Amino acid sequence: MYLLLAACTAGPVPPAASRHGDAATTTNLVPGELRTVELAALAGGWSAHWTMTGAKTEPTYVENVRVTRRGNLFTLDADINGVQVGRTQMSVDNKGRVKVLACPRGSSCAERPRGFLATVEVLAVIRRGQTAGTAPVFPYADREVACVAAHLIWRNRPATRPDVAAPDAGLLLDPCLDTLTGAVVAQRSRYDGSFTGPTLDESSLAVRDLSAAIDWCRSGRGPHAGPR
């Protein structure tokens, strides 16, 4: 998916600031220690109007993904090798209640979404007043992403090894959200720390922050691109 931020730079994005100032970041870090963010505070500073696009390349196909947020409404459109796979659309209200508004034919769309729509469930947890905890921050595509512990959001025991049965194998992957918008751009494996699963190719990633009226640009090392 494409991530367009408040500023498109060729280098790493500086630590994100939220409406809560420094409340979203830890202080007095030991050299080499990961920076962490308080998820609820971070979410308070996310843009509520953005479009993200990008591609996920596999050996036999390329999946193109487009996710939009318009306030409380989230929409996912995708195609595989140019063939449309349908639209998923969800909303989350101020009390954390999620509704499925559209689902591709033949698919099952959960009201506790994961993958590229995991932002919906993260917001739902926060708005219900549940503890979302903190998240470590990692670089991805020359940006910063907060990788959320899946078991804190989906309320199951943590899973750490793929060879040990877990309540849900999906808990082996922590969704990684762009710190400026909350868009899910990658998944990080709890087993080996790699970015895998529903993860967009770094060179394809771009986001347009509509609330800031930012021009389109590609993430990291990619060229500028026009609106889509």
Q: pLDDT tens digit string along 162-185?
A: 444 444 455 689 999 999 999 999
Distance CA 129, CA 103 (A): 28
Round to whole Å and give the CA distance between 153 and 100: 18
Could you tell me if 144 and 138 are in contact, meaning their C-beta atoms sit under 8 angstroms apart? Answer: yes
pLDDT at residue 12, as a whole number: 35
**For residue 50, what are the β-bridge partners?**
69, 209
User: What letters, b where the CB count within 10 A reaches 16 and e where it falls short, cover 28-48?
Assistant: eeeeeeeebbbbbbbbebbbe
Round the CA-based radius of gyration of the chain to a whole number and report it. Answer: 17
How many residues are there in the chain?
228
Distance CA 60, CA 11 (A): 32
Strand order across the 184-189 sheet: 36-38, 134-140, 143-147, 173-178, 184-189, 195-196
Amino acid letter at 125?
A: V
Average pLDDT over residues 13-20: 36
Query: pLDDT higher for 97 or 111?
Result: 97
pLDDT band at 30 (very low <50, low <70, confident <90, very high): low
Q: Which residues contact 54 (CB under 8 A, 6 or more apart)?
A: 1, 2, 3, 64, 65, 185, 200, 201, 204, 205, 206
Give me the mean pLDDT over the 76-83 stretch. 95
Residues 114, 54: Cα–Cα separation, whole Å: 17
Global confidence as pTM: 0.76
Please give the residue that has the higher pLDDT: either 197 or 159.
197
As a whole number of angstroms, the distance between CA 127 and CA 72 comes to 12
User: What mean pLDDT is predicted for residues 68-85?
Assistant: 96
